Structure 1
Amino acid sequence: MLNIFIAGQKYFGQAVLKELAAMEGIKIVGVSAPCCGDRQDRLCREAVKRGLPVIPAGSLNASTLPEGLDLIISAHCHDFISPATIQKTKLGAIGYHPSLLPLHRGRDAVYWAIRMGNPVTGGTVYWLNNKVDGGPIAAQGYVFIRPGDSPFDLWRRDLMPMGIMLFRRVILDLLDGLIVAVPQDEKLATWEPSVGRPPLFRPDLPMIGPGPEGFTVRVNSKALTGNS
């Protein structure tokens, strides 16, 4: 059984919660999402409907995070997640980025993939660490960009469903006792600025450490057994 906490918002966060809650071997123990009176976020409403504890966005920290967690999932989360918070978990934290990392790091990856005329892009689930969008890759997939695509079109049609599918794939790996963590190639990394909004705030997230006891860490396609 994996005890999972979801930090996120909007339709994507809600969809990730629904998908994972339907999986065997998973227990969602809490959620962090925007919850502002009558204007509750979709993820917040879904959590309340299911009777899950909700930590309002902006107040997630080591003292408010539930005990006994295996994993934090970041699903469209804009909160700062401190090292003390992430280190309370057994496995760490994973997030989804809508690009073929290490390409198009930054908040507007979908926009820049289209703007730069890329014929192909994709999505990546990666382990959060101290480099924005720079953690080891857990799962990845690609899609074709169609003529006339807008960032919204590409996100809703292909990249959002891909994110849900990739989260599911990583969770199934973890249930099988496997941690996939392939380092990104920094020589290929690109970074583009945010469009029409403030620059990204760099969160102080720790690098994931050795694999926990009972799990196998796969790095560069080589399997290493974690003993800590």
Structure 2
Amino acid sequence: MTQYRETDRLRVVFWGSGLLGRAVLESILKCKVVELVAVVSKPDKPAGRRRKLRACPVKEFATAAGIEMHTPRSPRDEEKHLRRMAPDLGVVADYGSYLPPVVVELPRLGTINVHPSLLPRYRGAAPVQWALANGEKETGISILFVTPEMDAGDIILQERMPIDDDDDAVSLTEKLANQGAEAIVGVLNDFLRGRVTAVPQDHSQATFAPKLSKEHGKIDWRRPAMEIRNRIRGFQPWPGCYCFPEGRDGPLLHVRSARVVPFSGIPGEVVDINRDGPAIAAMGGAVRLLKVQPAGRRVMTGYEYVLGHDVATGDRWE
């Protein structure tokens, strides 16, 4: 266990891009013990069907709040600027890129990260998504020191949170963002008072949450029904879970919401249709498609899709 000495008002450099980062940045701005000396985020990226450049949530917030910020192509590009700022502490939340040691070690007290999982479980880029996809009942926030090994640093604080059955990646990310935003205030105050202690992780218990790709969203009806349903929850809004009702050469269908129902059949077979939507057979049950989104169209109920696409029991989906 390591203890860190008391300091004056904290000069903080913040790194972030996503919704968790935005929530943490908002909280830092309200924290009276902090002097925010730099905000570093990501360059605008193409998004949507028209691939227009779009700012990330942190940049949107910072711009609206009139905060000067930096969006380097590489974190290394910020080294000279940060040396001039002479920060006491770096805070990372949902930045989305590896920070090299030369940047991490530059602040006098080091750099800390707000990570949305109970480390050492779910180290990596997509902890919220994989916790849901794996059917976890609990998650939380870890605040830890940044080290060269990903999400492996000593833990300053952890707070737990139950995962509700109706949570998906969107709702759970919002909850964890709020939890992280509240937690960072206490940690910053502890740094100011020299009360921070950090405990090493048990690396033998580490699990990983790799970055998602489009291939992760392909539904395999041969898998357990509950596993499919959990992946549908976890992989919203991207990559989303999808299937091919008209065969692999036909248009894909994204599944936005589903539940498991007690029907059996050949994997991929439409085994029941009611006003909630079609039920597709999987291992150990069937998956009722409650909300779906055909390629290039709006989200609709599963039953609306049935009515518009001549779906019948006995059809085979891929």
Superposition deviation, residue 51 in structure 1: 4.6
Among 169, 194, 211, which residue is 1:177 paired with? 194
Q: Which residue does 2:231 correspond to in 1?
A: none
Seen in structure 2, the aligned counterparts of structure 1 residues 113 and 101 have a Cα distance that, compared at 3 Å, is same
1:41 aligns with 2:61: no
Higher mean C-alpha deviation, range 109-118 or range 140-149: 109-118
- Distance in 2 (CA, whole Å) between partners of 1:193 and 1:17 is 25
Q: Which residue does 1:193 correspond to in 2?
A: 210
Seen in structure 2, the aligned counterparts of structure 1 residues 153 and 188 have a Cα distance that, compared at 3 Å, is same
- Distance in 2 (CA, whole Å) between partners of 1:24 and 1:58 is 31
Q: Which residue does 1:81 correspond to in 2?
A: 99
Among 15, 21, 45, which residue is 1:7 paired with? 15
- Distance in 2 (CA, whole Å) between partners of 1:42 and 1:162 is 17
Superposition deviation, residue 48 in structure 1: 4.0
TM-score normalised to structure 1 length: 0.77
How many residue pairs align between the two structures? 197
* Aligned pairs (5 A) from 1:1-228: 1-36=9-44, 39-61=54-76, 62-65=79-82, 66-156=84-174, 158-196=175-213
Does the CA-based 8 Å contact 1:55-1:64 persist in structure 2?
Answer: no
Secondary structure of the equivalent of 2:160? strand
Return the index of the structure with the highest Cα Rg: 2
Structure 2 runs not aligned, ≥5 long: 1-8, 46-52, 216-318
TM-score normalised to structure 2 length: 0.57
Which letter does structure 2 place at the counterpart of 1:53?
A: E
Does the CA-based 8 Å contact 1:29-1:52 persist in structure 2?
Answer: no
- Distance in 1 (CA, whole Å) between partners of 2:150 and 2:125 is 10
Does the CA-based 8 Å contact 1:57-1:79 persist in structure 2?
Answer: no
Q: Which residue does 2:48 correspond to in 1?
A: none
Seen in structure 2, the aligned counterparts of structure 1 residues 51 and 101 have a Cα distance that, compared at 3 Å, is same
Structure 1 runs not aligned, ≥5 long: 199-228
Superposition deviation, residue 90 in structure 1: 0.4
Secondary structure of the equivalent of 1:43? helix
Task: Give CA-to-partner distance per residue, 1:124-182, whole Å, 9 cap, x none.
Answer: 111100211111101111111111321222111x2111111221121111011122211
Report the aligned-residue RMSD. 2.2
